[in-house]
Structure 1
Amino acid sequence: MERKKLWVIYLMLALATSTWGSAFIAGKIAVESFEPTTVAFLRFFGAMILLFPIMWVTEKHRPTPTKKDWVRFALLGLTGIAIYNICFFLASKHAPVIKSSLFIAANPVLIVVLSGLFLKEKLTKRHLIGMAIALCGAAIIISEGHVVNMLRLGFEPIDFVLLGAVISWALYSVLGKVVLQKFSSVVSTTYAVAFGTLFLFPFALAETSWTDVVQATPQTWISIAHMSVFVTVVSFIMYYQGIKIVGAAKASIFINFMPVSAVIMATVFLGESFMLVHAIGAVFVLTGVYIGTTVAKKQKNKRDVEQSGDKNVKTNG
């Protein structure tokens, strides 16, 4: 039963992070009508309208936040909602897809490090190997097999924006683990989105006019609605629940599904070519996730059996 439950959690994490890949497509469409900060605000304003009723209905007996809790929610909103999404949509508008995908795919590396430093999560050798293989797969996909050439491009100002996205999301994931010790994934996501929307509002107000709103295309509004409902509400809750059960470090491996799904969706919706190198990279990603989760679980089961055997020997003796 326990193994079946874990597979459900892993499937949930894969679905959540794969859905995030669609944000690349939706974001590209939305920034044609609005500035990046406005797109981020509209996305989370729509999500907030949905999240609060969900929280009120499903979490009637939720704990009352203390002042310290409110500070943590505010930090979640600042890092994972405001800063990350400003950086993400700036990259959608100004950075090459290859570079932006590479930086965002590097998220698990920093999350693992921060989880070890601040959460004291134990990192096994196989977990690190799985993460490395998955990251290699993501690099193969986004560079179309030309990893060395990509590394020779050097740094540009937009790269530091992308670095800000990586750092802010890593902090969000690790801090989220702390918050989830007291609050559910629904409550945590709702308050984080509320604070993030509040932080984004003044910037969106300053850079957007009513004319921009009126002239926005139907495709733009559909893209924003998709990011609000599926990329934010549904996927964030699933990802947070995954972190709560398997830990931030292990859950972070699944972020590598994001570039895989982005490539597939670009092929389907934008007519881009799906090449053999993309398939090879996808195999690496899935293999890395398998090694970093299933194999580690098998080892744990083996240790549990051995410990049980030792106890039986001592009892019989």
Structure 2
Amino acid sequence: MDKKWIYYAGLTLVAAIWGANFGVSRSAMDTFDPILFSFLRFGLAVPFFFLILKMKEGSIGIPLKVLLQLALIGLIGVTGLEIAVMYSIKYTTLANASLLNVAPWPIFSALFAPLFVKEKFTRRLGVGGAAAVVGVTFIILGGGEGLNLSSDHMIGNLLAFGVSIIGALFNLACMPLMRQYSSLRVSTWFIFFGSLFMAPLTWGSWSKVDWNGLGAGHYTAIIYNVLICTVFAFVVWNASMYKIGAARANFFRYVVPAAAVIAGLIFFDEGITSWQMVGAVCMAAGLVWISTERKLSPALSM
């Protein structure tokens, strides 16, 4: 069996974990300020990243010049991106935010890839990607909320669309560094810097939380976000993305809204429409078509 299937499986699993996190974290937002919860997620994950890096590679250091690059990547790709996602949801509908954030991201990754790495945009990638875009659109808009382009949601819409552009550039900016250093080392340091820059933004939020009143559900949400959604997910996603290529890997983000729909059904008894089921089939067909390409770019296959 071709080893590339391991990486495609890893991408699918991580995207499903991120989608399920919608259900896990939604109730926690009633207790935690969104920025504080994001800081807990990434800040508490930092020691685990450094511990794994030390155990696996024997050292944690990285040249100063590269540290400056990773500081910028962390500021934009973790601090800025997480805040933009939260405020896009605040200022527009969930359907708008999901569609404008998730759907264009892989497309921008494919378009911008030649600027950072030697990735070929193949016909199979284009066809499979188009099917996946149609599928994820049905999944997001098929929920009944619909796309709302009124001026009341313009700020949120622009933020959500901006997230897809910045997110794609963030992924691609990591790729050249992952050719010099491991994906684990790169991830560890940009998450460290992202958490560091996010810390001052939580000022004033800590006192608003009734820490003594936290229950098992709150701690479960924090542990899931730290260990599963961040430590495990970032290690697997970035390692798989490096092997497969950013353009292909990012199309697997379309599994996120599908998993979120399932999480909504499990956690909040939300229904699934026929349009969403049709969309899931289209999306799955597109991703399978992408992943069955026999030969990857020589610059990516290892």
Q: Same fold judged by TM-score > 0.5?
A: yes
1:197 equivalent among 179, 195, 198: 195
1:42 aligns with 2:36: no
How far, CA to CA, are the matches of 1:91 and 1:214 in structure 2? Answer: 31
> 2:80 pairs with 54, 59, 83, which one?
83
Counterpart selection for 1:139 from 132, 137, 140: 137
Question: Deviation of residue 83 (structure 1)?
Answer: 1.2
Give me the whole-angstrom Cα distance separating, in 1, the residues matched to 2:81 and 2:130. 23
Return the match for 2:9 from 8, 11, 14. Answer: 11
Query: Match of 1:25, SS?
Result: helix
Counterpart selection for 1:51 from 39, 49, 52: 49
Show CA shifts across 1:169-223 (max 9, x none): 2122101211110121221211111111101000012443264544555433322
Does the alignment pair 1:249 with 2:263?
no
Q: 2-side partners of 1:288 and 1:109: how far apart?
A: 14
Q: Which residue identity lines up with residue 294 of structure 2 in the other structure?
A: K
Contact 1:94-1:158 within 8 A present in 2 as well: yes
Aligned to 2:294: 297
SS of residue in 2 equivalent to 1:150: coil
Mapped contact 1:267–1:273 kept (Cα < 8 A)? yes
Instruction: Provide the secondary structure at the position in 1 that maps to 2:44.
Output: helix
Once the two structures are TM-superposed, the CA of residue 151 in structure 1 deviates from its matched residue by 6.0
Relative to its length, the structure with more helix (as a share) is 1
Q: Deviations over 1:63-111 (max 9, x none)?
A: x422221122112312221111112233455542211211222211111
Match of 2:300 in 1: none
Write the letter of the residue equivalent to 1:21: G
Please give the TM-score of this superposition, normalised by the length of structure 1.
Answer: 0.85
RMSD: 2.4
The structure with the largest alpha-carbon Rg is 1
Unaligned runs of 5+ in 2: 298-302
Percent pairwise identity: 27
Structure 1: runs of 5 or more not aligned: 301-317
Judge conservation of contact 1:72–1:179 (CA < 8 Å) in 2. no
Q: Cα distance, 1:58 vs. partner?
A: 0.9
Aligned pair count reads 296
Deviation at 1:150, TM superposition (A): 1.9
| Aligned twin of 1:307 | none
Matched-pair contact (CA < 8 Å) for 1:174–1:248? yes
Question: Are the equivalent residues in 1 in contact too, given 2:92–2:156 (CA < 8 A)?
Answer: yes
Query: CA 1:275–1:81 in 2, change beyond 3 Å: closer, same or farther?
Result: same
Are the aligned partners of 2:101 and 2:163 in contact in 1 as well (CA < 8 Å)? yes
> Once structures 1 and 2 are overlaid, which stretch shifts more, 91-100 or 102-111?
91-100
Distance 2:59 2:50 in 1: 14
TM-score under structure 2 length normalisation: 0.89
